Amino acid sequence: MAGYKVVISGYYGFSNAGDEAMLYAILRALREVFPDVETTVISGKPEETARRFHTKAIPRFGGLSIGRSLLSCDLLISGGGSLLQDVTSSRSLLYYLSIILAGILCRKRVFLYGQGIGPLRRKWVCSLLGHVLSHVDAITVRDEKSRKLLESLGVRAPVYTTADSVFSLPRVPLDRGQEILRQAGISVGKKVIGISVRNWLDADRWAEPFGDYLDRLAEEDWTVLFIPMQWPEDQQMAERLCRRKPEHFRFLEGTFSAPELMSIIGSLDLLVGMRLHALIFAALMHVPFIGISYDPKIDNFLRAVGQEAIFPISAFDAEKLYNKTEALLSGRTSFGSWEAVEALRKKAEETVQILQDVVKH
């Protein structure tokens, strides 16, 4: 496959650790299967993406450069995440769908890589999505609910349920994560709880009980560390939640690579998270976690690993979360088996096998 050219579309270049991890996983998989592959990533910050991932990169709204790249490529990948949903906005969905449609019109192979589809609220969006996606070569989705949604839309392209692309990443050593923790002033010997939060709808309603939970943690002999998955937005939300006793908490500042975040989270005793990929990193590193649901993708992931959200963010229960935290850290409650996580690793590897079949035919 010497000189095989691939264009990758997704929410890249916006300091979102989850999306950057998916890009890292996709590029890693492509380079293992096609050693001489030439990749071009559509990015919000193309220079940064090119530097971090050793790939060509073009501007997200660079119409001419996107058009030229699609005309000269062999394959378009619409890379993982919840790109095709209209809850936050239908405009972003239309953007990603327009890239897919452009690939189809350029008569290129088009492959959806470990996507999460939906939620979809508008009938015209459902109709448009069903029509366009019927003309791609293959679709892999990260959960069964996404597959059923595509089926209900009448999508005629082959659809496979695999897993989030990040599940294909191998476990990493803890050395780098422990070094970062030391630099953040975290002493060895205490239990360390990682917190991954994000701003979300009606934050005024759940910020106060979340702060109550954090106050309870501050009374214990535990270290509480906030881990930003999107900088600086997550940092701002963290500071808002713990404003009553900020001196009791530690904050990681800036952005980190996927391997660094895996190493950091692998060095924790427990992760409490809203962010999907913070939870996935914990699962990959076999660190117990408690998921708080703000979106169906969290529930889908937790079900896939034999867990369930402790509650939706709209019904935040500080007492319930504290009791679960204490039970896991004290060993009174065991987390469960990691077999489901390893099964998802294998499912993620199937995505690459399906992609190989698409390329061969």
- Quote the tokens at residue 102: 């452009």
Q: What is the pLDDT of residue 361?
A: 77
Alpha carbons 144 and 167: distance in angstroms, whole number: 16
166 sits in which H/E element = none
Amino acid at position 70, single letter: L
Say if residue 119 is preceded by a cis peptide, omega within 30 of 0.
yes
Alpha carbons 271 and 7: distance in angstroms, whole number: 35
Q: Which residues contact 157 (CB under 8 A, 6 or more apart)?
A: 133, 134, 135, 136, 137, 138, 139
Q: What is the pLDDT of residue 1?
A: 54
- In the numeric block, the tokens 């660190």 are attached to 287
Alpha carbons 178 and 174: distance in angstroms, whole number: 6
Low-confidence ranges of the chain (pLDDT < 50): none
Phi-psi region of 3 (alpha: psi -120 to 50; beta: other; left: phi over 0): left
Residues 114/163, Cβ–Cβ less than 8 Å: yes
CA dihedral 38, 147, 230, 293 (to 10 degrees): -160
Alpha carbons 353 and 142: distance in angstroms, whole number: 15
Q: Which residues contact 258 (CB under 8 A, 6 or more apart)?
A: 17, 20, 21, 24, 25, 166, 169, 281
Task: Identify the bridge partners of residue 185 per DSSP, sorted by sequence position.
Answer: none
- In the numeric block, the tokens 């001419």 are attached to 64
CA distances from 41 to 32, 100, 141, 235 (A): 17, 14, 20, 27
pTM score of the predicted model: 0.95
Alpha carbons 212 and 190: distance in angstroms, whole number: 22
Residues 44/20, Cβ–Cβ less than 8 Å: no
Q: What share of the chain is helix, strand, coil (3-state, %, to 5)?
A: 50, 20, 35
Query: Could you read off the pLDDT of 299-358 as tens digits, one per residue?
Result: 999 999 999 999 999 999 999 999 999 999 998 888 888 999 999 999 999 999 999 999
Cα 275 → chain centroid = 8
